[in-house]
Structure 1
Amino acid sequence: MSRLIIRRASIMETNELLKMTVNVMKESSMGFVENSESGFHAFIPLLNGGSYYLVSLEGKMLLGWALIGPDFNPLNTVKTGSISSLYVFPAYRQKGIGKKLMQAALNDFKNQGYKKVLLNVFSGNPAKHLYEQLGFRDVSTVMETELLEEVSLEDRYMT
């Protein structure tokens, strides 16, 4: 068995990972986001803004990835990184690969002078336990509502 390697993805690998990321969006968002081509375009600005993929490989076999980079929230008062995506293929889960990817990501951030790292995790995602083990904690709640076309805003919110 080959040893596990975690490294920054090449440009060719990044293009392939973008396609794969689109295909696993529904699973990684616990069903909140559908797999769609528009998801592909959602990640392009992150990559153009300094984000990059870390890949976990055993030989030439891709086991998983993390998409990491700077966070652009103006409320952050210190240099803050963001983990936009963590994915391990089902056959390789529960083997410590996600933890090693996260540790590599945190080391990259630390080496680049980041002081804080955040991530967004959907309700019910089993990876939340891993994030908590690595020191992440709940600091905010994201809420959403759907803007339905058939109901006016006045009827929906003013009654």
Structure 2
Amino acid sequence: MFIRKANRAETEQLLYTTVHVMEESSMGHLQNDPQKGLGAFIPALQNGAFFYVAVHDYNILGWLMAGRDSNPVNGNNAAFLYSLYVFPPYRKLGVGRKLMSHAVEVFRREGYEKVQLNVFQGNPAKRMYEEIGFHDISTVMEIKF
């Protein structure tokens, strides 16, 4: 398995797939809504975000969408990991960890001061994120009506 940036055709396919796994990726907090998903991810891609893909035997096992953090509060030298997804047959094989570690190391080498991500409550990947070095800095709370 190796990690590389997705090409243009793969990026288009991954964008489409990303908005169709939003419910699973958010632990049911979001619905698979292509219009909302595209509205969130297309601007990030237009501002330089990209996908890393984990590939084995010409098959994409999973992906990570990352880029410069557009939140002005974080300053100009922060990166953000928008989406991590590993196809079910390849889970628990280290694919997600390899994608995460690769992205973090690239951002470190490129001189970013920090990397942030959002993880939904109940997501088992949170443990892996913590093992890599991420820690809680905020909690989003809500009341649904």
Please indicate, yes or no, whether the TM-score normalized by the shorter chain is above 0.5. yes
AA aligned opposite 2:52: L
Report the counterpart of residue 15 of structure 2 in structure 1.
18
Structure 1 runs not aligned, ≥5 long? 149-159
> Hey, what's the Cα distance between the residues in 2 that align with 1:127 and 1:23?
19
* Residue 5 (structure 1) aligned with residue 25 (structure 2): no
Equivalent residue, structure 1, for 2:100: 102
Give the residue type in structure 2 aligned to 1:68. Answer: A
Describe the SS at the equivalent of 1:124.
Answer: coil
Moved over 3 A (4+): none
Residues 11-50 of structure 1: CA deviation (Å, up to 9, x unaligned): 1100000111011110000001111221123200000111
Q: TM-score, normalised by structure 2?
A: 0.94
Partner of 1:71: 69
Deviation at 1:78?
6.1
Unaligned 5+ segments in structure 2 are: none
Of the candidates 26, 29, 32, which is equivalent to residue 29 of structure 1? 26
Distance 2:109 2:7 in 1: 20
Residue among 124, 129, 132 paired with 1:131: 129
State the shift of 1:89 in Å.
0.7
TM-score for the superposition, normalised by structure 1: 0.86
Larger C-alpha radius of gyration, 1 or 2?
1
Q: Is the 8 A contact 1:78 1:115 kept in 2?
A: no
Alignment RMSD = 1.2
Question: Equivalent of 2:139, from 117, 138, 141?
Answer: 141
Instruction: Check the 8 A contact 1:82/1:119 in 2, yes or no.
Output: yes
Find the aligned partners of 1:20 and 1:29 in 2 and give their Cα distance: 14
Q: Percent identity?
A: 49
Contact 1:78–1:116 at 8 Å: present in 2 too?
no
Letter of the structure 2 residue corresponding to residue 31 of structure 1: G
